[in-house]
Structures are given as structure tokens and as C-alpha cells.
């Protein structure tokens, strides 16, 4: 039930959904001025790049320089998309994969744990971890150095099932936790709560650290920011819900 509700909440968190609702209300309401002002205000607010960049920069986890050695890195799912033919492709979060591969190639980690099943409500066939395992094998990572957890559907289950895998293989902490910078705050807290000592290794920055804003970021609307805000709200609300339900 928690998984289903989280998917519904994700839809309702979209500022674009709010604008559509206001548009419908404007069409049917007699008090059109109120809904018109609210709709225009929301559009200006959530299409502004400077405001989004400011909020995202404060939420993302800062980059780290890892100059140590760890027995294993945990790579969280969310970087693979599947088409209708069940063929997998890397999406915008592919740096989770390349970062783990680079760390392994220089000897900073000795094993790679891939954690991620299917995050979809209706499709439970396509498993991210299985696809990632094949990609690491193609990159000449030995099969014995790849551990696969393909049952999890969300961050909480990532930690739950990964802990069982770690304990079964008697791996020694701390472990590197590799995920997107936007997702790291929640993921790190969940893994710590689960009793898995991890070192955060954020990648895939939506807004580059110390990014300099351009003049047009302040005044020119960007429709893409509606989706960006939706993703950010997902993390913020997810963090709050996990805190309330004692999952972190």
C-alpha cells in the first residue's frame, strides 16, 4: 500500500498538475479572476530557473573526494529505463554506473552491489539490477565481484534487501553509497537507519555545484522546470514521509 500511495503522490506533486487543476477551475468557476491570478503566479514561480536552481542546490548533497578503499560500493537503481520490448537503456542518471565502474577500475572498491528491482506499479518483469549486472560484465568486471539485489521497489527496500545481501556475504563496512545528488539525502538517512555504515558518493548533479546563473535564468521561463520541481518535491516529501513513518 505504501508503494502504491507513493506513486499517486508523485503525480499530485507536479506543479504542472496544479496549473491544470487551476485551469479547469477557471473554466467552470464564476470567480475567474482568482484562479487566473493563481494560475499565472504558479506558472511564473515554477518556470523560473533561478528559483529552481537555488532550491535544488540547497537540497543536493555536496560532492566528495574519495581517497580511501572500500570493500564494496552500493549502486542504487533509477538509472535504467525499459521500452515495451523489455529492452533496457541508460537514462540521465547513468553516472551512477560510470562512477562505480571508474572506482572499481582504480581499485578504490573491490565489489559492486547493484540494488534495484522494478519501480513500476504494473510491470514487475524488468529488473534494473539484472540489466546493470550485464553491463558491468561487459565492462570486464568479474562476475564474482558483482552482487545483485533485484527485489527492491523503493529506497527503503533498497536498504532492507541490501543489508541481507551484505550479511550473507559477510562484507565489511563502510560501503560507498552511489546515487544521484538529489536522492542522496534520503538514501543516506535510510541506509544509516537500517544499520548499514555508508559513505555518501553523490553523482548526477541536476544543478552543478557553485553554478553561476546566467541573466536569462532570472527572467525567461523554462517549461522543463515543472518536471524538475516535481522531482525535487518527490525527494523532499519522500524524506518527510520516511521520517514520519520511522524509515529514517
Q: What is the pLDDT of residues 126-177, one digit of tens each?
A: 889 999 999 999 999 999 999 999 999 899 999 999 999 999 999 999 999 9
Query: pLDDT at position 3, please?
Result: 52
Backbone phi and psi for residue 172, each to the nearest 5 degrees, phi listed first? -100, 130
When the pLDDT of each residue in the chain is averaged and rounded to a whole number, the result is: 88
Report how many domains make up the chain: 2
Mean pLDDT along residues 195-208: 95
Assigned domain for 65 exists: no
d(C-alpha 8, C-alpha 10), whole Å: 5
Residues 171 and 149 in one domain: yes
Residues 31 and 93 in one domain: no
Residues 75 and 159 in one domain: yes
Assigned domain for 184 exists: yes
Residues 44 and 108 in one domain: no
- Does residue 10 have a pLDDT over 70? no
Residues 106 and 181 in one domain: yes
Assigned domain for 93 exists: yes
Residues 79 and 118 in one domain: yes
Backbone phi and psi for residue 77, each to the nearest 5 degrees, phi listed first? -70, 175
Residues 141 and 56 in one domain: no
Q: What domain range includes position 28? A: 2-60+215-244
Query: pLDDT at position 30, please?
Result: 76
Query: pLDDT at position 15, please?
Result: 81
Q: For residue 74, what are the β-bridge partners?
A: 113, 177
Confidence band, pLDDT 50/70/90 cuts, at residue 32: confident
Q: Residue 189 belongs to a domain with what CATH number?
A: 3.40.50.620
- Does residue 13 have a pLDDT over 80? no
Residues 95 and 113 in one domain: yes
Query: pLDDT at position 124, please?
Result: 64
Query: pLDDT at position 7, please?
Result: 57
Assigned domain for 210 exists: no
Assigned domain for 162 exists: yes
Query: pLDDT at position 2, please?
Result: 52
Q: Is residue 155 classed exposed, middle or buried when 0-12, 13-18 and 19+ CB atoms within 10 A define those classes?
A: buried
Picking from 29-33, 76-80, 151-155, 200-204, which range would have the lowest pLDDT averaged per residue?
29-33
Neighbours of 44 (CB within 10 A): 11
Assigned domain for 231 exists: yes
Query: pLDDT at position 149, please?
Result: 94
Question: What pLDDT, in 10s, does the model give residues 56-110?
Answer: 999 999 988 887 889 999 999 999 989 888 889 999 999 999 999 999 999 999 9
Residues 40 and 94 in one domain: no
Output helix, strand, coil percentages for the chain, rounded to the nearest 5: 50, 15, 35
pTM of this prediction? 0.87
Q: Which tops the pLDDT comparison, 2 or 21? A: 21
Q: Which tops the pLDDT comparison, 59 or 24? A: 59
d(C-alpha 177, C-alpha 202), whole Å: 8
Assigned domain for 209 exists: no
Backbone phi and psi for residue 247, each to the nearest 5 degrees, phi listed first? -95, -5
Mean pLDDT along residues 227-231: 91
Query: pLDDT at position 119, please?
Result: 61
- Does residue 123 have a pLDDT over 60? no
Query: pLDDT at position 248, please?
Result: 78
Residues 130 and 99 in one domain: yes
Residues 150 and 111 in one domain: yes
Residues 77 and 198 in one domain: yes
Q: Which tops the pLDDT comparison, 16 or 147? A: 147
Assigned domain for 54 exists: yes
Picking from 6-15, 48-57, 196-205, 233-242, which range would have the lowest pLDDT averaged per residue?
6-15
Amino acid at each position: 500500500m505504501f508503494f502504491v500511495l507513493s506513486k499517486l503522490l508523485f503525480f499530485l506533486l507536479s506543479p504542472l498538475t496544479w496549473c491544470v487543476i487551476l485551469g479547469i477551475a477557471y473554466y467552470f468557476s464564476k470567480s475567474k479572476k482568482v484562479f487566473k491570478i493563481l494560475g499565472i503566479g504558479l506558472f511564473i514561480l515554477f518556470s523560473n530557473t533561478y528559483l529552481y536552481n537555488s532550491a535544488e542546490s540547497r537540497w543536493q548533497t555536496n560532492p566528495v573526494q574519495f581517497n580511501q578503499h572500500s570493500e564494496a560500493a552500493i549502486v542504487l537503481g533509477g538509472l535504467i529505463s525499459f521500452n515495451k520490448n523489455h529492452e533496457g537503456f541508460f537514462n540521465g542518471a547513468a553516472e551512477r554506473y560510470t562512477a562505480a565502474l571508474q572506482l572499481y577500475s582504480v581499485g578504490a572498491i573491490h565489489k559492486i552491489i547493484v540494488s534495484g528491482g522494478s519501480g513500476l506499479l504494473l510491470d514487475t518483469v524488468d529488473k534494473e539490477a539484472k540489466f546493470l549486472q550485464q553491463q558491468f560484465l561487459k565492462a570486464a568486471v568479474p562476475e564474482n565481484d558483482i552482487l545483485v539485489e533485484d527485489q527492491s521497489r523503493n529506497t527503503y527496500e533498497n536498504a532492507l534487501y541490501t543489508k541481507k545481501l551484505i550479511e550473507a556475504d559477510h562484507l565489511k563496512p563502510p560501503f560507498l553509497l552511489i546515487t544521484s545528488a538529489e536522492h542522496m539525502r534520503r538514501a543516506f538517512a535510510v541506509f544509516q537507519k537500517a544499520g548499514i555504515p555508508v559513505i555518501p558518493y553523490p553523482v548526477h548533479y541536476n544543478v552543478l555545484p557553485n553554478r553561476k546563473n546566467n541573466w536569462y535564468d532570472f527572467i525567461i521561463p523554462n517549461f522543463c522546470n515543472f518536471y524538475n520541481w516535481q522531482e525535487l518535491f518527490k525527494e523532499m516529501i519522500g524524506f518527510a514521509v520516511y521520517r514520519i513513518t520511522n524509515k529514517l
